[in-house]
Chains A and B, each alone.
Chain A
Amino acid sequence: MTDNELIWRIAGGSGDGIDSTSQNFAKALMRSGLHVFTHRHYPSRIRGGHTYVEVRAKDEQVQSRGDGYNFLLALGDSFARNPQDEAYYGKEELKPLYENFDDLREGGVLLYDEGLLDEEDVDEIELEEHAEENGWHVVPMDLRGIAKEHGREIMRNTAGIGATAAILDIGTEEFEELIEQNMSGDMQEANLNVLQDAYEAASELDIDHDIDVPSGSHDEEQVILSGSNAISYGALDEGCRFISGYPMTPWTDVFTIMSQHLPEFGGISEQVEDEIAAAALALGASHMGVKSMSGSSGGGFALMSEPLGLAEMTETPIVLVEAMRAGPSTGMPTKPEQADLEHVLYTSQGDSARVVFAPANIRECYTQTRAAFRIAYEYQIPAIVVYDQKIQGELRNMPASHFDEQANSDPGSVLTEEEIAEAAHHSSGKFQRFLHEPEDGSNVSPRSVPGQKDGRYLATGNEHNPSGHISEDPENRIAQMERRLNKLDDIRADLDENASHQTYYGPEDAEHGVLVWGSQQDTAFEAVDRLNENGHSVKALGVSDMMPYPVEEVSEWLDSVDQVLVVEMNATAQFRGLTQKEIGKYGDKMSSLLKYNGNPFEPAEIVDGFESSINGEELAATNMKYLPAAGD
C-alpha cells in the first residue's frame, strides 16, 4: 500500500527557501497528472534551524502525510554558522541531514549537498553505517558548486530539484515551465542553467533504487493550495469585505492573504493595535451592515473573549478564525495541536450562543467558511472557524471548479427601509430591534443599520428590552435569553438540512469505529483503510460541527459500533469530553488516542493505537497517550 508513491522530503535551514522549492516541486508533480499533499515542519526561528517539507505524490487523491518517506534532499542549514550555536545544539548545519534519519524508509534515496556539508563532519554522524543498515542509496553532490557556477549559492535548491528529477527519472519540463513563469531575465536564465547542469550531473551517476514514481492524469483542471487560502477564498466568495487583525502564528496566514486581496475586491483590511481591537473593529463594521471577519491564535483569541461576548449579546454577526497551535500560553508557536477546542467553545462570560465549525481539510476550509458566514449573518450570531497549524501549512490539490462560486452579497437578516417603516417601534421612536417573538416564528429579529431611516436602536452588551434599552426586568431577561439560545436549535436543523459537515468513511456495517475531528480526520481515514486491509472491521466518522453539536447524527453512528477510538491532538481528550457531554452516554464505549508532542499523527500511529486498544495492550510508542473509556 505504500508502494507506488513518492514521498520526497526537502530539508534545510529556515530561510533557505525550502518552502518555495517544495511548493514548486508539488505543483510540478500536480501538473504532470499526480495528486499531491505537503506536510511542513518548521522551528520557531526566522533564519536557521532545521526545517523540512514533505511532498507526497500518488496517482489517486492523497489524504495525509505518509509513514516516513523515501527520498531525502538534504541541503544543509546555511544559516547555522554561529559557533556559539554549535556549542548548544551540536553541528547545526548538519541537522537537515542527521535529523532526518529516523523516518527515511529502507531502500530510500538520500541526496545531500557536499558543497555545504564538510566530509569530516559527515563522517562524524556515521552516515555510511546508517545507510548500510537501512539499505539507503546515498548520493553526495556538490549542489552549491553547481549553483555558484551559474548564479548564486541560494540556487542550491534548483540544483537539488534538477538532481532529484534525474535520479527519479521524471524529466525537467514542468520545472522549467515553472521557472519561466515565475522568474525573468538573468534570474530565469541562471536557474534554468543550474537545473539542467544538476540534471546532467546526476544522470551520469549510477544509482539504482526501486522508488517507482507513479504516473497519472487529471480529468479536470487542478489547483494546489493551503487551508488558509481556502478560508480566505471562502470568505471572499461569501461577500466578506472587511478584516481586522493582529499578527500571530499561524493565524497570520489568513490575515495576510485577505489583506493582500481585499482592496482589489473593494474591501478593507486593518492591522490594529491588539486582538481586542481587532475583534471590536470587526463588530463595528458588521454593525454597519458589512460582512466582516477577524481571528487569531490561542493567546490572541483569548483577548477576543470580551468582544466575542458582546457580539453574542448584541446579536452582531461576525466570523472569527482561530488557528490553533500548541499551548498553553505561547506554547509552541510553529507546532500544531487541537487543544483550543474548549477555549473557543466556552470562552467569554455567560451562557454562550455561538457557532463553531472545525473543517477537516482544505476543501472543507472553503465550504465551512462559507457556511460560517451564511449562518452568522442569517442568524445574527458569531461563528468561529477553528483549524490548526497543520491545515494552515499543508498544500493539497483539488479541482479548480471547487471554488467556482458566485459571491454572496446578501447582508443576511437586515431590513430594507420599506420594511423598517412597517416594523414595530417603541414609543421613544426606537425601532424594535430585539423582539421577544419575531413575526416569522423564528428566533431571529431582523436588524437595521445606521443610516437607514427610522431604524434607530441601541445595541448594548447589557441585557436589554426589544428596542435595545437596558433592562433587568426578569421576564424580558428570560424571553431574550431563550430567543438567543434557541437559535442554536434552528441552526442545527438548518445545517442538517443544508450542509452535512460530518464525513462518514469505511464500510457501513463495520464493527468498530474511529471518531475524529479537524485536521486529523483524513489521516485517520487512511489508517482505517489499512486497518481494514489488516483484517479489522472499522469505519470512521469525522465531525466538524462543534457547536451546535450534531447530537443525533453522532449518537446514531456511535450506536452502530462496538468500540470507538477517539483520535485527537491534545492531552486531555477535549473532543471526546465534548461528545460525552453533548450526548450524555457512550462514555464506556469511547477510548482516546492522544498526541501532543507538536507533530500530527501519522497513519501508522493510528493503526498501532487502534490495534493496541482492541488487544488491550499498552501502546508501544511513547509519543502518544492512550486514555481508556471513562464511563458516562
Chain B
Amino acid sequence: MSAFSAIGDDREIDRDEFTPGIEPQATWCPGCGDFGVLKALKQAMPEVGRNPDEVALFTGIGCSGKLNSYFNSYGFHTIHGRSLPVARAAKLANPDVEVIAAGGDGDGYGIGGNHLIHTARENHDMTYIVFNNEIFGLTKGQTSPTSPKGHKSKTQPHGSAKSPIRPLSQSLNAGATYIARTAAVNPNQAKEIIAEAIEHDGFAHIDFLTQCPTWNKDAKHYVPYTDVQQSDEFDFDLSDRAEAAEMMRKTEERLYEGEVLTGRMYVEDERPSYGAEKRAIGEMPEEPLAERYFDEDAEWERTYDNLLEHHK
C-alpha cells in the first residue's frame, strides 16, 4: 500500500461522502447563507472527482470558519484570518492534495487582508471561498470591511465613515488568476463556479455572497441577481484584464446600489501557478515533499559534506 493511496483513485464520488453525520444546525442560525456554501461545495466535489481523503480544507474563525465541521475531509480550523498562510504551505508540502481555504469577510478581508494580497500575488494553486455577509457574524454583528458606508452597528453607532473594500478588484490587482462572485441563493451557479475554481491551476478567489439574517437584517438577500455571463448587457472578455477590471468595478459598485451581479469575472489560464514557478527555478522538488517521509527508497543521505568544506 502506498503512503497516500487516497490520492488519485478515480472511482465515482458521491456527494454524501462529504457529509460527516454532524449537523450544521448545531451552530448556524436558521436561514444563514453559510448552508448554501456548504451545499454548493459538497455538490462540486463529485464534479471534480476528488474523494474526502485527498481534500484538505483550511478555515479561519467566524461562523464561516465552522465550515469544516460539516464537511467531511481533512480539515484545519486555524485562527482568525490565517487560513491562507497555513493552506499555502500545505499545498507546497503536498501538491497532490486538493487544498481549499474558506472564511468570512472579516476573516479574509479584514484581519487576513495582507495574506490575501500575498497569496493572490504568488498565485498558489488553491481555491479560496470568502463568505461575504457584510457583517461580523460570530462576534455578534459588528461592522465588517464589506459593510456599506454609513452602516450602523454597536461598535459604529454613528454609521461607518468607511467605504467598503472591493475584494474582486483587489484580488485582480494582486494577481489572482480566477476571480468570481456567486451567491448562496443561486446554488447551480455556485456549484459550477466552485468546481471550476478547484480545477483552475492557480489562485481562485470566490467572493460568495451570503446572508446573515441574525445580525444583518437590512442587507439585501441578494435576490434578484443577474448572472453576468447570461446577460447580454455585460459583454466582456473574461481573460482581458482591463475589461475584467471594468466589470468588477461595476459589480462592486452596483452591489451597494441594490443590483447584484454574479458570475465569473476573470479567468487567466496562461500564468503558471506558484508551485510550477518554484519548481522551474529549482526551489521545489518535483515529487511531493511530504511523500519523502513515507518513502523507504527516498534519498536521505547527507549531501552537505561540501557545506562543511567551507568551514575547514
Contacts and interface: CB of A to CB of B under 8 A. Distances in A.
B94 A407 contact: no
Given A272-B85, A280-B78, A411 B93 contact: no
A490 interface: no
Interface in A448-495: 449-462, 468-470
B88 A281 contact: yes
Contacts of B3: 416-417, 451-452
Contact of A451 (B117, B278, B285, B290): B290
A236 B56 CA distance: 27
Contact of B312 (A223, A277, A310): A223
Interface in A368-415: 400, 403, 405-407, 409-411, 414
A273 B114 contact: yes
Nearest to A310: B79
Given A400-B312, A452-B53, A288 B97 contact: yes
B158 interface: no
Q: Give the size category of B's interface with A.
A: 35 or more
B234 interface: no
B290 A233 contact: no
A416 B1 CA distance: 9
B307 A233 contact: yes
A228 to B, nearest CB: 12
Contacts of B96: 451
A307 interface: yes
Contacts, number: 226
Contact of B86 (A283, A428, A430): A283
A284 B93 contact: yes
A543 B66 CA distance: 44
Contact of A284 (B53, B86, B284): B86
A276 interface: yes
B228 interface: no
B312 A281 contact: no
A241 B308 CA distance: 19
Interface string A256-283: 0000010111111110111011101111
B20 A430 contact: yes
Interface string A306-348: 1100100010000000000000000000000000000000000
B289 interface: yes
Given A428-B21, A451-B96, A459 B1 contact: no
A268 B92 contact: yes
B147 interface: no
Given A229-B311, A268-B289, A310-B79, A289 B94 contact: yes
Given A428-B22, A449-B290, A281 B89 contact: yes
A291 B303 CA distance: 18
A288 B72 contact: no
A241 to B, nearest CB: 6
A280 B85 contact: yes
Given A268-B278, A276-B82, A400-B308, A287 B289 contact: no
Contacts of B114: 273-274, 277
A285 B89 contact: yes
Interface in B32-90: 52-56, 58, 61, 66, 68-69, 72-79, 82, 85-90
Interface residues of A, number: 77
A458 B69 contact: yes
Contacts of B117: 273
B56 to A, nearest CB: 4
Contact of B93 (A265, A289, A310, A454): A289
Given A287-B76, A452-B53, A459-B77, A280 B89 contact: yes
Contact of A455 (B72, B74, B289, B308): B74
Given A268-B93, A289-B93, A239 B5 contact: no
Given A288-B93, A451-B6, A469 B22 contact: yes
Contacts of A469: 22, 69
27 contacts: A221-B312, A233-B307, A236-B304, A241-B289, A276-B82, A277-B114, A280-B86, A288-B97, A289-B94, A289-B290, A291-B293, A310-B78, A406-B302, A407-B301, A409-B293, A410-B293, A416-B1, A416-B294, A417-B2, A417-B3, A418-B1, A429-B21, A450-B74, A452-B6, A453-B5, A468-B75, A469-B69
Given A265-B303, A429-B21, 11 more contacts: A223-B308, A233-B307, A268-B93, A268-B289, A280-B85, A281-B86, A283-B78, A406-B300, A429-B72, A453-B5, A470-B69
Interface of B: 1-7, 20-22, 52-56, 58, 61, 66, 68-69, 72-79, 82, 85-90, 92-94, 96-97, 114-115, 117-118, 278, 282-285, 289-290, 292-294, 298-304, 307-308, 311-312
Interface of A: 221-225, 229, 233, 236-237, 239, 241-242, 244, 261, 263-270, 272-274, 276-278, 280-285, 287-292, 306-307, 310, 314, 400, 403, 405-407, 409-411, 414, 416-418, 427-430, 449-462, 468-470
The 7 tightest CB contacts between A and B, nearest first, are: A284-B89, A280-B85, A460-B77, A451-B4, A281-B89, A223-B311, A284-B86
